[in-house]
Amino acid sequence: MQQRQPRLGDVLDDYCPRERREFDSLSLKEWRAASELFGDDVKEHITAQASVAAKRTPQSTQPAAVAAALAGVQAWLSRVTG
């Protein structure tokens, strides 16, 4: 049976509040205590910037989505203002 992917929420919802810790202060050992599936690069993926960049939903704050929305608004402004 395949082990499920670890959820950041598993760590945030239980361990961090209980220990009064911020998740970016956790060591690799602490991440791996939650799940051995966390890799050496876990700290690269838990930043606010990484979270925003990973979003793939409509109207998200992902940089490419924001750029596309701005381009759409600029094109519309060009059409309506002549």
* Same domain, residue pair 36 and 5: yes
Q: Write out pLDDT tens, residues 47-81.
A: 878 888 888 887 788 888 889 889 999 999 999 99
Question: Would you say residue 51 lies in a domain?
Answer: no
* Same domain, residue pair 60 and 41: no
DSSP state of 11: I
* Same domain, residue pair 2 and 42: yes
User: What does the radius of gyration of the chain's CA atoms come to, in whole angstroms?
Assistant: 19
In whole angstroms, give the CA distance from residue 6 to residue 38: 7
Task: Quote the domain boundaries for residue 27.
Answer: 1-46
Question: Would you say residue 66 lies in a domain?
Answer: yes
More confident residue, 78 or 6: 78
Q: Is the pTM of this model over 0.75?
A: no
Residue 1 pLDDT more than 60?
no
Contact call for residues 28 and 11 (beta carbons, < 8 A): no
* Same domain, residue pair 42 and 16: yes
* Same domain, residue pair 42 and 3: yes
pLDDT score for 63: 86
* Same domain, residue pair 1 and 35: yes
